[in-house]
Amino acid sequence: MITGFNFKKKFGQNFISDKNLLSAIVADSGIDNNSQVLEIGAGAGTLTEQLAQVASKVVAIEIDKDLTPYLQLLCDRHKNITLIFDDFMRVSKETIEEHFDKKFDVVANLPYYITTPIIFRLIEEGFNINSLTIMVQKEVAERFVADCNCKEYGAVSVMLQSQADLKITRVVPRSMFYPQPNVDSAVINIKINPNKYNISNKENFSKVVKTAFNYRRKTLCNALQLGLNIDRESAEKMIASIGLPVNIRGEKLTIQQFIDLSNYL
């Protein structure tokens, strides 16, 4: 474990040092010696090092400059690591992608305070990625993979499952991290699959999904009127067009039904 370092809660610093767990995460990612990898939140570089031993190239982004001495040592040992000291949310897509000459994979033990924004940035900005293998809070992973009709099913489940294949590869108890967080974690593998469904307009799709779940206590018909600013008659017509009862609630729709609804727009 690294000594003399002041862990910063505000950056979600919960480090992993267990070699078996680190190599299991790398194995879950499916990367090989042809892979190019982006790591977000390098910490003291324990995962970075394992990634560098397998992949042809690793670009690691870390917000906390106090970690420089640890990460610099690592770069001296592994010439295939590039470090970027910055906030991932503020680095431009071009700055990141200029380090890669083909589709890359994201592998990371993500800072929990910003998990969902990071994932959505990668997917919605259309980064040139094959897959994400990320450690997230267990409850968050469960929401990502939730099926229609279960209470964890939400806009995030629909948005991710509509364009990727998701799998929780392992549950990781809180005791595996230092400092120990208050929650357990899970590793989730997200394989981008743009042809999984036929979504004619991504913006409409995302709008319909967000609308349906933003007004959870209302019927889909009421939600659509409010969210899309349309009258009752048009909302009812939309719902009937995909063969659903007009009093249905948004959270009852399958991914295909959300797509049908947004394609109707």
User: In the complex with ligand SAH, which residue's Cβ is closer, 104 or 215?
Assistant: 104
In the bound complex, what is the minimum distance in angstroms from residue 51's beta carbon to ligand SAH?
Answer: 10
The nearest distance, CB 176 to ligand SAH, in angstroms, is 10
Nearer to ligand SAH, 48 or 211 (CB): 48
* Min dist. Cβ of residue 116 to ligand SAH (A): 13
- We find the least distance from the C-beta atom of residue 126 to ligand SAH, in angstroms, to be 20
Check if the beta carbon of residue 36 is closer than 8 Å to that of residue 102.
yes
Of the pair 36, 161, the CB lying nearest ligand SAH is at: 36
Q: Is 113 or 234 the residue whose CB approaches ligand SAH more closely?
A: 113
Q: Which residue, 99 or 218, has its beta carbon nearer to ligand SAH?
A: 99
Q: Which residues bind ligand SAH (CB under 6 A)?
A: 11-16, 40-43, 46-47, 61-64, 87-89, 109, 111, 114
The residue among 87 and 124 lying less far from ligand SAH, judged by its C-beta, is 87
Half-sphere exposure of 3 toward its Cβ, with a 13 Å CA cutoff?
0
Q: What's the min distance (Å) between Cβ of 163 and ligand SAH?
A: 23
| Distance of closest approach, residue 108 Cβ to ligand SAH, in angstroms | 7
Report which residue's Cβ sits closest to ligand SAH: 41
3-state secondary structure the chain: CCCCCCCCHHHCCCEECCHHHHHHHHHHHCCCCCCEEEEECCCCCHHHHHHHHHCCEEEEEECCHHHHHHHHHHHHHCCCEEEEECCHHHCCHHHHHCCCCCCEEEEEECCHHHHHHHHHHHHHCCCCEEEEEEEEEHHHHHHHHCCCCCCCCCHHHHHHHCCEEEEEEEEECHHHEECCCCCCEEEEEEEECCCCCCCCCHHHHHHHHHHHHHCCCCEHHHHHHHHHCCCHHHHHHHHHHCCCCCCCEHHHCCHHHHHHHHHHC
